[in-house]
Structure 1
Amino acid sequence: MHLNKIFSQADRQGRLSTILSKDALVLLRMDGTEELSGDFTWRVEALSDDPALDLHGLLGTHATVEVDHADGTRAFDGIVCEAEARGASENGHRYDLILRPWLHVAGLRRNMRIFHDKTVVQIVEEVLGAYAHLGDPHLDVQVTGEYPVLEYTVQYGESDADFMRRQLERHGISWSWRHVAGSHTLLLTDAAFSLPEVPGAARPYYGVAGYHRHEEEHFRLWTAAERITTGAVRLTEYNFKTPSASQEVEQAGEATHPNGDMESYDWPGDYLDQGAGRDVVARRTDAARGQAPRHRAEGDVASLGAGWRVTLKGDDVPGATGRTFVCLKAEHRFRAQGYGSGDSGGDETPYDGSYVLMPDDTPYRPEQRTVGPKVQGPETAVVVGEGEIDCDVHGRIRVQFHWDLDAAHTMWVRVSQNWAGKGWGGMVIPRIGMEVIVEHLRGDPDKPIVTGCVYNGKNTPPYELPEHKTRSTFKTDTHQGEGFNELRFEDEKDKEEIFLHAQKDHNTTILHNESHQIGNDRSKLVGNDQKERVNRDKQIDVGRDHVETIGQDEKKTVMRNAERQVDKDSFDYVNNHRIEYTYANHQEEVGAHHYMKVEGDSEVAVGQKLFTRSKMQVLHAKDKFIIGGPGGTIEINSSGVVIRANKIDLKGPVNVTAGAPDQIASLESAINEGLDLAEVCIRKLTDE
């Protein structure tokens, strides 16, 4: 049914505007709720002469309800999030719209990303920058405090809206909305004085008797309430960089009730040091204090909304008149004049509101109502960084999660080791490209820790599986080169083995004893030099043969005595020269026979006396035997015995055995040869 009726909102106190043509939808009523550090919802009932409005075209666009009041016009802007055609009535076609802030759109997009080295304000600005086209402006930052640079903040499966809320609540920053026709702006504040005041600043309170007898906006009802709250807050934290430093902070509140000294204790406190902790505990205390005083009001103050300040005047309200209050929550109700016989009701009280307020000198911090995400169980990531190995002084590494579309690496993440003491323990640094297992302390995505490594299709095990399933190994890879170090265990039956491979050096330090027991053979191959030093005694026991082959020289130095015992035979083979020096006495004992064979010459030089003793001594020369001294020689050769001397003295009997040469003949022969002996004999005869 198409009604030939033209609707007009001209000269009406309440009006609705959309992207449709003017007065295509006219306002019947609006019910709405808004809250400081929360959202707003405007439920709008509208009338149209068109039964087939383009509802889809309305979605995601701005719509504004404007309500005139004595001090101006209040706009209730919002994004059309729902639109419903309710059918025809006797005076037109009904449509319902639900308007919400553009932050509702941000709540429809979930994201996973990492922010590095940014303050909470910078993070919020970056997150909400994607929605800048939905407001003019979309964001107004009016914070006065200084906020720390956050090394690492993760949006983990949260909507942009929830992530923003969680971060603002975490740092005690409140938010509210400012509306104009066709737009609304998100206002961030951290102090009550940064909040705007309603036009004219003050609104009166008139009792019920005076309600609606005045044209100006006013309150008809005002009540006050108090609530019991925590009296003090105590927090503590842990910072691995300063593990011994106290992180405990506390702050007492101002509660004066009998349980006002009641303390709330929490951990973790979400700070790095006591200085930051004092700021956190102050915010927690302020949040508790801010829950105590509440004032509730009703009236027609359309200009008052959540996040606005108003000063109370008019009839006296004890403890309230003359004070300024912050509106925490407002509920708005507007009923338009009728557009036909079916819409009766006068325009006497078109707007009515109810409000929750608190004194503006009471500290306010938003409650931490937004539940943060919890990482359910471990996940894996890939180690990233510079070069092949990248870590900091604490052995921390950086990783990239598989879900990170921006390819942003994490902060420095600690790596779990099998042991970690003061200067001792285990140390294995995961390398670039490895897939590691990452868990999160208490499930907090801002607190990752690496707990292990896993193989994948690219990084495969060092040995083919399941062929070598009995092997257990620890194998490294040479940094910036080819090679590896490895300690491997083989548990295959009858092939059990412990294998050690050092790509270059292998150094062992043992401060006390070392024992080796080998049940079978042992082989050692040294490709170059071997040096061994024993500071005290050394003992080697060989059960059977001992064979040593030396390719070149051998040198032994014994600083004191040397003793060698051979229980059976001993053979020394020298293929060239042999020189033996004894610088003091040389004693040699042979228990049986002594045989020496010299192929060439043999010479014995004795500096003083040579003395030999035996039962019988045989000296034999095959060709010639010569005994010589300063006075002559005795030569025994194949011809006989020749004695050459300056003088011969024979003392004692002389026996000449038959067959011996005539002595006279021998002397004559000596004379004939001109020997000295002959000259002596001649002189002797002459003298006689």
Structure 2
Amino acid sequence: MAQLAGLEDAQRLYRLEASFLPGAVVMRWQGRDGLGEHAVTEVDVLSTRADLALGEMLGQRALLHTRLPSGETALRGGLVAGARRVGSDGGLARYRLELQSWTWWLQHGRHSRVFQEQSVRQIVDAVLGEYAQIACWRWAEGCDAFLEGRVRSYCVQYRESDLAFVQRLLTEEGLSWRTLADAEAPCGNVMEVFADSRRLPQADANRAGVRFHRADATEKADSVLSIGHRRRLSSTRVTLRSDDYRSVQNLTAQQEVDGGGRLSAREAFDSPGAYAFSGWNAAQHYATLHAEALEAQAQAWWGHGTVRGLRSGAWFTLQDAPRHDLPELLLVQVEHQGINNLPVDVRKQLDATLPVGIQRTSAVNPLPIAPNEADLWAQAEQTGYAQRFIAAPHDKPWRSVLPDGTGTRLNPRATAPGYQTAIVVGGSAEGGQDLHCDALGRIKVRFHFQDGDGHHDSAW
């Protein structure tokens, strides 16, 4: 196709940077990112090479460049987790690349091990450090102060993926994470763990605010096209109770929740087990975290628009909104769809020879909000880009909640189901000695899945 010779134009909306696909032209792409979840991007590209080996693409880095209305560039980076040759007409081939943030790799590592007398930060750093070849992460300012030096006396990862383990620990502590594009990172992105969502930065899209306005290809600024709000009833009080064997007392903490409704009080009572807290202050801390998580899940804002610079983990203000009491909004999840501004005749010819095939299984799970996926693609056809998002009030703490309830409860499910067998060891972790107990009559054991290191035995 002779028209393809001029497609590598600097004025294109989207450009792919990938050493394994030199000269490739982006046709369309879709992606999703969110707080506490991977950033995934699926890109359709055109190449004059129809004989490229798909296996050699896997694990390689690729960066998607998006041109913003200001002339600046926004990045989405990732490693190739999947590659498909969608079609070929002999001289031209369409490839579909699935780019995943490096955190996606954590779900493919599964371990059983014990961490003793370590902080959550030390444990998470140890797990992520095993992926040093691709991993890039950092702790936002305020995380250490938020954790207050709390140490886990005995923490077990049992037949659990590294991703599930890290997510569980962070969520239990009220922490979450976001994914940021980083051209200098080996994987094209960095994971940032944060404690206070109110300290997350403002979106780069428009520091003065994002317009609530119609969308048109002739508009110079992107805009939000619709906005909606949801509120649900939740508990009005959180109560936690545990016992401390050292001080021989019960520990009880309560925290009020803005759960909505005035007709009844609704208490969420949880007894997470013995010695769940080191003291009353710790119990009250976790009660507060659970209350904040319930409040965060009880309301949400959603909308759609054409603002190319918006990503999860940043907040924005909406100008000329239909409601005057609209708060600053923190983006929790964002789904993106983009179509490159190729010449109309070229696009028609490509669609005829190499069909796009939108109705297909995708690596990008759609958000369960309006508009539907087909309407979003139709908007992208008009303006080159469309998005839909879920947001939360920026002035309130946002806490993650896992599907099993972790975040609003401690130990909601058994993480080591079934009976366990172990070897009784002495005080110095040596077997074959006389039975050794501490002052409370407790013994030490080593589980069969442990590596035998002396300091990895059970607590007394």
Q: What TM-score does the superposition give when structure 1 sets the normalisation length?
A: 0.55
Judged with a 3 Å threshold, the aligned counterparts in structure 2 of structure 1 residues 186 and 47 are, in CA distance, closer, same or farther, namely same
Q: Is the 8 A contact 1:337 1:343 kept in 2?
A: no
Q: Judging by fraction of residues, say which structure has more helix.
A: 2
Amino acid at match of 2:123: I
Q: What residue in structure 2 maps to residue 69 of structure 1?
A: 68
SS at match of 1:197: coil
Judged with a 3 Å threshold, the aligned counterparts in structure 2 of structure 1 residues 211 and 259 are, in CA distance, closer, same or farther, namely farther
Structure 1: stretches of 5+ with no match in the other structure: 415-688
Q: Is the 8 A contact 2:50 2:90 kept in 1?
A: no
**Match status 1:248 vs 2:252:** yes
Give the Cα separation in 1 of the matches to 2:335 and 2:193.
Answer: 21
Judged with a 3 Å threshold, the aligned counterparts in structure 2 of structure 1 residues 338 and 70 are, in CA distance, closer, same or farther, namely closer
- Could you tell me how far 1:85 is from its partner in structure 2? 1.4
Structure 2: stretches of 5+ with no match in the other structure: 352-377, 405-412
**Match status 1:325 vs 2:329:** yes
Q: What residue in structure 1 maps to residue 419 of structure 2?
A: 377
Give the Cα separation in 1 of the matches to 2:448 and 2:99.
Answer: 37
Judged with a 3 Å threshold, the aligned counterparts in structure 2 of structure 1 residues 75 and 113 are, in CA distance, closer, same or farther, namely same
Give the Cα separation in 2 of the matches to 1:240 and 1:170.
Answer: 22
Q: What residue in structure 1 maps to residue 262 of structure 2?
A: 258
Alignment counterpart, residue 337 of structure 1, candidates 319, 322, 341: 341
Give the Cα separation in 2 of the matches to 1:3 and 1:130.
Answer: 49
Give the Cα separation in 2 of the matches to 1:406 and 1:195.
Answer: 42
Q: Is the 8 A contact 1:231 1:259 kept in 2?
A: no
Amino acid at match of 1:309: W
Q: Is the 8 A contact 1:19 1:58 kept in 2?
A: no
Map residues 314-463 of structure 1 onto 2, 5 A cutoff: 314-320=320-326, 323-338=327-342, 340=346, 341-343=348-350, 348-369=382-403, 373-386=415-428, 388-389=433-434, 390-405=436-451, 407-410=453-456, 412-413=458-459
SS at match of 2:242: coil
Q: CA RMSD in A?
A: 2.7
Q: What TM-score does the superposition give when structure 2 sets the normalisation length?
A: 0.81
Give the Cα separation in 2 of the matches to 1:38 and 1:120.
Answer: 19
Map residues 196-345 of structure 1 onto 2, 5 A cutoff: 196-199=201-204, 200-208=206-214, 211=216, 214-243=219-248, 245-259=249-263, 261-268=265-272, 270-320=276-326, 323-338=327-342, 340=346, 341-343=348-350
SS at match of 2:259: coil
Q: What residue in structure 1 maps to residue 357 of structure 2?
A: none
Which deviates further from its counterpart, 327-336 or 260-269?
Answer: 260-269
Amino acid at match of 1:175: W
Give the Cα separation in 1 of the matches to 2:138 and 2:45.
Answer: 29
Q: Is the 8 A contact 1:226 1:292 kept in 2?
A: yes
SS at match of 2:166: helix
Amino acid at match of 1:293: Q
Q: Is the 8 A contact 1:63 1:77 kept in 2?
A: yes
Amino acid at match of 1:364: W
Amino acid at match of 1:286: E
SS at match of 2:30: strand
SS at match of 2:239: strand
Judged with a 3 Å threshold, the aligned counterparts in structure 2 of structure 1 residues 89 and 334 are, in CA distance, closer, same or farther, namely farther
Amino acid at match of 1:376: G
Q: Is the 8 A contact 1:32 1:332 kept in 2?
A: yes
Query: Which string of whole-angstrom CA distances, capped at 9 and with x for unpartnered residues, describes residues 179-207 of structure 1?
Result: 13361010111112331221243433333
Over the matched positions of the two proteins, sequence identity in percent amounts to: 23
**Match status 1:184 vs 2:189:** yes
Give the Cα separation in 1 of the matches to 2:454 and 2:299.
Answer: 46
Give the Cα separation in 2 of the matches to 1:140 and 1:241.
Answer: 33
Q: What residue in structure 1 maps to residue 130 of structure 2?
A: 130
Q: What residue in structure 1 maps to residue 176 of structure 2?
A: 174
Judged with a 3 Å threshold, the aligned counterparts in structure 2 of structure 1 residues 30 and 154 are, in CA distance, closer, same or farther, namely same
- Could you tell me how far 1:3 is from its partner in structure 2? 11
Higher relative contact order (CA 8 A, sep 6+): 2
Amino acid at match of 2:441: G
Q: What residue in structure 1 maps to residue 86 of structure 2?
A: 86
Q: Is the 8 A contact 1:78 1:184 kept in 2?
A: yes
Amino acid at match of 2:61: H
- Could you tell me how far 1:411 is from its partner in structure 2? 5.2
Judged with a 3 Å threshold, the aligned counterparts in structure 2 of structure 1 residues 11 and 174 are, in CA distance, closer, same or farther, namely same
SS at match of 2:278: coil
Query: Which string of whole-angstrom CA distances, capped at 9 and with x for unpartnered residues, describes residues 384-418 of structure 1?
Result: 4327454322222322222223625445545xxxx
Judged with a 3 Å threshold, the aligned counterparts in structure 2 of structure 1 residues 140 and 242 are, in CA distance, closer, same or farther, namely closer
Query: Which string of whole-angstrom CA distances, capped at 9 and with x for unpartnered residues, describes residues 628-672 of structure 1?
Result: xxxxxxxxxxxxxxxxxxxxxxxxxxxxxxxxxxxxxxxxxxxxx
Q: What residue in structure 1 maps to residue 371 of structure 2?
A: none
